[in-house]
């Protein structure tokens, strides 16, 4: 191992260099959101003197601890809350060599339902991308109550503002790491994919990226300002506090985590259904981005503002993992309808379209399939059809031994880190699938062409499997899903 140094706008960094890849970790892109900076827009990172050590990951955002039953998700969510000094608005860079120039840049926004996760997860290791000539960046951003409330005297969409601040840092500094600031692709999965889809609507993100990749996300998972204010009031009531930034700053991050956990678990919850009777988070994502401010001024359902190249897709069986599927096994038909009806107005009709009451389909399977399409596949395709720029669609269809083609299982194939997720995908992850997906992301980031036709009137989709192939889209159309 050797040492590499890089100059940034805030000071000089020291990273490590092993086997042709340089790594710089825990780099602050904004000031720590502590004290008066809590519930406020991200402020510039403070400059430092001398050379800052960037050989280890930095602190991570406050977040709840994973339930032991979900411990196998840790490679995709990271180390949890690492409090450190509160300086958790940081990012990590992998590059072939800081001495090169003009390399394509991929900036990854992690998932986790806007409540958990970090850029330090093992599955997001950027070594393979760097070895293949791409500069890879992962970031942390504010989560949960710290990042997605509407407090009087505070600022909305703090988590998205953090992401935009990180993209500004990339634009201003990435050339020093060998990257091309004019060839940046922002990509993410789940909440990260939804973030990317929403950044396509943000005037504050204009000019910060040339391409976008949305995995298991879309631009419909956001709430109007009035509903975010209702959520904020409910959390304030749990705390016995006024819903103001000044009052919330008196509580520790741990206090807020306890209050949001109680709000998430207990009844009654605030009614977060929109005018159509739909909760876009379906009680699984309590905190969501907010429309109606300067970050997202447009309502849900309109074409995006930035007509950049877009690659967007889902897995075939999204709801098989991490969305409550393990709880559905004992459901009868009545319980399945009641579960979905809490967040969707025409639940029984939707479940019937997915086989409810068919002898060959259990209520659990019908409900899981309904959530897969309702929360992911159908809105993802609507996002694709609305996008004004070149758009390409994919679907991850490989069946893992335990969870099938479930939510998030495509991520380690993209990063070529399947070794880190054996508890989820087993020991027989096809090398050909890893190569196909990893190379597709590189090709798209390099020149905007993933290798198949755009998603126009032909509705052609690349289906990634043991033998990947192009085929007609099988996701349901808008009927009954809008």
Residues taking part in catalysis = 190, 318, 407
Residue 79: what are its φ and ψ, rounded to 5°?
-80, 5
Instruction: Collapse the DSSP code of 3 into the 3-class scheme (helix H, G, I; strand E, B; otherwise coil) and give the result.
Output: strand
Stated as kind and residue range, the H or E segment containing 18 is strand 11-18
Instruction: Collapse the DSSP code of 6 into the 3-class scheme (helix H, G, I; strand E, B; otherwise coil) and give the result.
Output: strand
The answer to whether the CB of 314 falls within 8 A of the CB of 395 is yes
Closest CA to 276 of 324, 346, 368: 346
Closest CA to 390 of 334, 331, 308: 308
The answer to whether the CB of 392 falls within 8 A of the CB of 215 is no
What DSSP string runs through 38-105? TTSPPPPPPP-SSEEE-SS-------PPPPGGGGGGHHHH-S----TTS---EEEEEES-TT---EEE
Direct distance between the N- and C-terminal alpha carbons of the chain, in angstroms, rounded to an integer: 54
For 373-412, where are the E strands, in sequence order?
391-396
Residue 416: what are its φ and ψ, rounded to 5°?
60, 45
What DSSP string runs through 422-448? HHHH-S---HHHHHHHHHHHHHHHHHS
Spell 28-62 as b/e; 16+ CB within 10 A means b: bbbbbbeeebbbbbbeebeeeeeebebeebbbbbb
Q: Tell me the C-alpha distance between 440 and 448, whole Å.
A: 10
Contacts of 38 by beta carbon, 8 Å cutoff, 6+ apart: 146, 245, 248, 249
């Amino acid at each position: 191992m050797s040492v590499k140094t890089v100059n940034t706008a805030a000071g000089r960094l020291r990273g490590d260099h092993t086997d042709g890849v340089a790594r710089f970790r825990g780099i602050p892109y904004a000031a720590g959101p502590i004290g008066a900076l809590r519930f406020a827009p991200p402020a510039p990172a403070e400059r430092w003197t001398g050379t800052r050590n960037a050989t280890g990951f930095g602190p991570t955002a406050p977040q709840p601890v994973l339930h032991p039953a979900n411990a196998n998700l840790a490679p995709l969510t990271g180390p949890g809350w690492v409090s450190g000094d509160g300086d958790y608005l940081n990012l990590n860079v992998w590059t072939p060599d800081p001495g090169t120039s003009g390399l394509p840049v991929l900036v990854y926004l992690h998932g986790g339902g806007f409540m958990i996760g970090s850029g330090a997860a093992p599955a997001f290791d950027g070594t393979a991308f760097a070895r293949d000539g791409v500069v890879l960046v992962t970031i942390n951003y504010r989560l949960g109550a710290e990042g997605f409330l509407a407090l009087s005297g505070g600022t909305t969409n703090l988590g998205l503002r953090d992401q935009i601040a990180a993209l500004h840092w990339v634009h201003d500094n990435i050339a020093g790491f060998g990257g091309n600031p004019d060839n940046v692709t922002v990509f993410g999965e789940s909440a990260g994919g939804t973030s990317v889809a929403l950044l396509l609507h943000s005037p504050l993100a204009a000019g910060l990226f040339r391409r976008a990749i949305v995995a298991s996300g879309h631009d419909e998972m956001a709430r109007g300002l009035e509903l975010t204010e209702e959520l904020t009031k409910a959390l304030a009531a749990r705390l016995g506090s006024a819903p103001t930034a000044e009052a919330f700053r008196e509580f520790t991050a741990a206090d807020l985590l306890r209050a949001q956990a109680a709000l998430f678990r207990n009844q009654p919850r605030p009614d977060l259904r929109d005018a159509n009777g739909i909760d876009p988070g379906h009680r699984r994502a309590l905190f969501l981005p907010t429309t109606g401010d300067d970050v997202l001024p447009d309502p849900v359902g309109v074409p995006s503002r930035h007509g950049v190249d877009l690659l967007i897709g889902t897995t075939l069986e999204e709801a098989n993992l991490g969305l409550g599927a393990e709880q559905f096994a004992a459901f009868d038909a009545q319980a399945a309808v009641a579960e979905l009806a809490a967040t969707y107005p025409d639940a029984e009709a939707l479940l019937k379209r997915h086989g409810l009451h068919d002898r060959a389909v259990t209520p659990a399977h019908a409900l899981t399939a309904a959530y897969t399409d309702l929360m992911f596949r159908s809105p993802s395709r609507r996002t694709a059809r609305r996008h004004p720029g070149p758009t390409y669609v994919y679907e991850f269809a490989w069946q893992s031994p335990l969870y099938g083609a479930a939510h998030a299982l495509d991520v380690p194939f993209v990063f070529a880190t399947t070794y880190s997720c054996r508890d989820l995908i087993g020991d027989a992850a096809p090398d050909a699938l890893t190569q196909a997906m990893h190379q597709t992301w590189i090709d798209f980031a390099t020149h905007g062409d993933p290798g198949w036709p755009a998603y126009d009137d032909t509705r052609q989709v690349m289906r990634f499997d043991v033998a990947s192939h192009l085929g007609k889209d099988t996701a349901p159309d808008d009927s009954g899903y809008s």
